[in-house]
Amino acid sequence: MGKFILDGQEIEFNPGQTIIQAAKAVGIEIPHFCWHPSLSVAGNCRVCLVEVEKMPKLVIACATQAADGMVVHTESKKALTARQAVMEFLLINHPLDCPICDEAGECKLQDYTYSHSVGESRFTEEKWKKPKRIQVGPYVTLDVERCILCSRCIRFCDEIAGETQLIFTKRGNRVELSTFPGKQLDNPYSLNTTDICPVGALTNSDARFKSRVWDMSATPSICPGCSRGCNVEVWVRSNEVIRLTPRQNDDVNSYWMCDEGRIFSWKHVNAESRVDGSHIRRENGLSKATWDEALSMVSSELHGYKSNEIAFIGSGRTTVEDNFMLAKVAAHLHVTNIDFPRHIIPGSGDKILIMDEKSPNDRGALVAGVKPGKDGADLNGILKEIQNKKIKALLVVEEDLAALSEEWSEALGKLELLVVLASNFNLTTEFANVVLPAATWTEKNGVFINFQWRAQRLKPAVTTELQDRTLDGLVQSRLDKFGTKFDRWGNYKKYDARPSWRILLDLAHLFGVKSKFEAAEDVWEEFTEHAPGFHGISYDEIGNLGVVVKHELEKV
């Protein structure tokens, strides 16, 4: 490794690294707009100008390779004067709409104006007006006035998404960001442009004007949209999810995530269809019941069937802990008819992030024990056994079986007892005798195992009536601080829902199982004791970036 001096500090660098890359590697931030670690170098914002001794002019740190013995100054009078001039130039035609801009609080131009500008402008002429509020794609809104021409969005579409959809038109101070004629910004990753836009030129139409960033809590979690398991931040205000943004994990999703996961993977959390409280089917249909009443009914009803007359359905869409508890209850009742649906859409994936396999935790369900035991039936076998009325009772955890096919819809109507754990009312709950409200992925702790066998943690960003004891401290502190205010506004609502593992634990206690789990972490610890390849892996070791596990199952 070579070495150079940056503001009096000796910095090591790898051959080929630029000044800005070498500085970033050791935690030194050089101001920049157009440079991004995953995109090609454009060098058009000029705010990263630095002074290098023995060079006649200032150079841009994003495009200048570090050299052994080089002496670089980022805070010299020459560099500061140039940086202030660039900031003044960028602000000449930039609109003064920070009070209504969604980027406020996350805006690099706003931050750099305070830290690197002179704080005043000599510009007295009228600002150049450009188009505003243009819907350039199904999910993205463009305010051309705010654009500082960094070209990040253009390079992202060309280099990462593989779709040439954005371009600069016109010249001089009239340059505008626009879509190609006849095209929209509609690639499957279009919303990543809103993340990398350093100003508020490109914004998420779905989250536009919903909340200021400082009014939201951000909780690290995992997108449940497919088996990739993109690392995300769940942004919440008033106990409601406002948006999802990607969280950097170079081993999983880099800086990106797809639009499908970002927009649709959480809509059910705030939906009117949420199951709020336990329900039992009576003469007039499903009606509310207490938890004790519903669980007691399930326990007493299941006791009336032989083990081969009962089937359990788990899910690759819920956590390892949920599936482990289901397998534990099934083993106690000697139920061998147990499996879960695989949601695979051939050809729907791509070479970037999206996978054909739409469940985030199929591998986790398998290693947790949700697979047919000796002489047990798989999913298709369970369907046939229900059709032949050999299986009379079915317990379903967070799956909508009736939506799979007409065969399943017809078969569910032949059951004597159908118990459904669900976060939202769906086609399957229409046949249910008992519906128990399950917490969504944003409301519980747990682990998903993606297609790479990487165990990754979910953390609760939204609170429910019964909260897991390992609730993220930041979320809890915000709820404790603002809960009363939210109640007065009428916006703060907690659903009477529980993690599926806890519901199954309560049910297991009625069956005589003596497990004493207090939190999801306790369930995980017992799972790791029995699952080969997982021994000693704790929540702390999984951390925010996950850990790859070794297991004898190589494919699902």
Mean pLDDT of the 85-113 span: 92
State the pLDDT at residue 54. Answer: 92
State the pLDDT at residue 553. Answer: 61
pLDDT at 336 over 50: yes
State the pLDDT at residue 36. Answer: 96
The residues that bridge with 486 in the sheet, in sequence order, are none
**CA 237 → CA 268, 307, 492, distances in Å?**
16, 46, 9
Locate tokens 């299941």: which residue?
302
State the pLDDT at residue 470. Answer: 40
- Kindly state the percentage of the chain with pLDDT values over 90: 85
212 contacts 463 by C-beta, under 8 angstroms: no
Mean pLDDT of the 215-230 span: 96
Mean pLDDT of the 149-154 span: 96
438 contacts 421 by C-beta, under 8 angstroms: yes
State the pLDDT at residue 467. Answer: 56
22-28, long-range: CB within 8 Å, 24+ apart, which pairs? 22/66, 23/61
Residue 552: pLDDT band (50, 70, 90) is low
User: E strands, 170-305, where?
Assistant: 176-179, 202-204, 217-222, 231-237, 240-246, 278-282, 285-289
Mean pLDDT of the 180-192 span: 95
State the pLDDT at residue 478. Answer: 47
What is the average pLDDT score of the chain? 92
**CA 376 → CA 27, 95, 548, distances in Å?**
56, 67, 31
CB contact set of 412 (below 8 Å; sequence gap of 6+): 386, 394, 401, 402, 418, 428, 431
Mean pLDDT of the 446-454 span: 96
pTM: 0.91
State the pLDDT at residue 493. Answer: 76
**CA 400 → CA 6, 155, 228, 381, 403, distances in Å?**
59, 41, 22, 18, 6
pLDDT at 172 over 70: yes
Distance CA 217, CA 459 (A): 12
Distance CA 45, CA 160 (A): 21
φ, ψ for residue 358 (rounded to 5)?
-90, -5
Q: Which domains does the chain have, with CATH numbers?
A: 2-91 (3.10.20.740), 123-209 (3.30.70.20), 278-460+497-548 (3.40.50.740)
